[in-house]
Amino acid sequence: MLTEFLATNAERLVMDPVKRAMLQRDLLAVYVWLTQPGMGAEQTPRRTMLAQLVVRIIRKLALSDSVIAALPSALAVGDPALPAGLADSTSGWVCLGRGDGTPVAPTHLQALGGRSTFVVFLNVPGGRAATLGYLAQLRTIPTGWRIDPQRIGNPPIDSPVLRTMSVPFPEPPQIPAGTRVALLRFANLVDRHGRLHPSTLVESVQVRQYDSIPGGPAGVAYVGRTPYQRVFESQLSRRALFAHNGVGLRMLDSTTRTHSRFWDMATTFSRIHLPSSALPRDASCWRAPSCSAPAARATRR
């Protein structure tokens, strides 16, 4: 099928930019799956052959930078599945970034092979001033970690478990009850120059609202303790996207059945810790998935 696609220039049958982008997105997932390590030496030749064919099709489907930038955005059109006010530059939602320019969700980025960009928004009760005030307070705390004696038990010093029991130190200010955190996932696409290019296509939105804060070290909240938080999630529906030109998210509930496409990471926010390097980005950053708008640098200690 792949060789037939290439031989017949079947990419010409998919001229709509949105459908073309979605097809390339799916093939990028296949490519990442084919090239992940640890699959066994006997599978390597076949996987390599398939990956080479997939790469050729990905390049044939590539859009120009300008077309990628013009793809529909659920944020720009106000998709009702998004949290209210997320795209409002005066609301309490503040886009987060890091002072060193590194991703705010590196684990997610790595787990998906770089085929998605993740953006984090924070909303503290009391509006935008309260959110910015919390971040300003957070930036006065030096970045550091230590082993939590309450959780350590007695593992060997060199145990990998030990590294999972670290907590922020010095202790940062705890998030207040009612705080919401939103994680947006945007599709990355390969442009005509062979470069991975962030797009405005929103693949998923996950929101956690912390109605109360459990005891324990500041900056830590546990997913399994449902009385403390509510979770909301929306995922991209290609049927809705194709039909409504950008309004393509659907809310998930307990009855929604989903499937994982080639190890799509289920982001759980299993532990919330906003490092002291977190910086509020310019209010216009929601227009682009990279949150790369200029931001004031905080003085670090």
Q: Are residues 188 and 252 in the same domain?
A: yes
Q: Are residues 75 and 45 in the same domain?
A: no
Both 175 and 268 in a single domain? yes
- Shared domain check, 199 and 130: yes
Residues 124 and 196 in one domain: yes
User: Does 84 lie in the same domain as 205?
Assistant: yes
Same domain membership, residue 257 and residue 178:
yes
pLDDT in tens, 172-205: 888 899 999 999 999 999 999 999 888 999 999 9
Angle at 233 between CA 232 and CA 235, to 5 degrees: 165
Structural domain boundaries, residue 105: 64-287
d(CA 74, CA 69): 13
Q: Is 300 within a domain?
A: no
Residue 28 lies in a domain: yes
Say whether both 160 and 76 belong to one domain. yes
The whole-number pLDDT of residue 93 equals 95
- Per-residue pLDDT for 217 more than 90? no
- Whether residue 293 is contained in a domain is answered as no
| Number of domains comprising the chain | 2
Confidence of residue 276 (pLDDT cuts 50, 70, 90): very low
What are the tens digits of pLDDT across the range 91-116?
999 999 887 778 788 888 777 878 89
**pLDDT higher than 70, residue 254:** no
**296 domain-assigned:** no
53 and 145 co-located in one domain: no
Same structural domain, 32 and 125: no
pLDDT tens for 129-175 read 999 999 999 888 887 777 766 655 555 455 666 656 677 778 888 88
What's the CA gap between 215 and 149, in Å, rounded?
15
Neighbouring C-beta atoms of residue 222, cutoff 10 Å? 13
What's the pLDDT score for residue 107?
A: 80
Q: What percent of the chain has pLDDT over 70?
A: 73
Q: Are 162 and 181 in contact (CB under 8 A)?
A: no
Q: Is residue 185 a contact partner of residue 117, using CB atoms and an 8 Å limit?
A: yes
> 10 and 92 share a domain?
no
DSSP-based three-state secondary structure for 271: coil
- Which of 15, 32, 61 is the C-terminal boundary of a domain? 61
Q: Are residues 188 and 169 part of one domain?
A: yes
Q: In whole angstroms, give the CA distance from residue 236 to residue 246.
A: 10
**What residue type is assigned to position 1 of the chain?**
M
Of 270, 227, 231, the residue nearest 251 (C-alpha)? 231
- pLDDT tens-digit map of 37-89: 777 777 888 889 999 999 999 999 999 999 999 998 888 887 888 898 998 88
Alpha helix positions (H), the chain: 2-7, 17-35, 44-60, 65-69, 74-77, 106-111, 128-138, 149-152, 160-163, 238-244
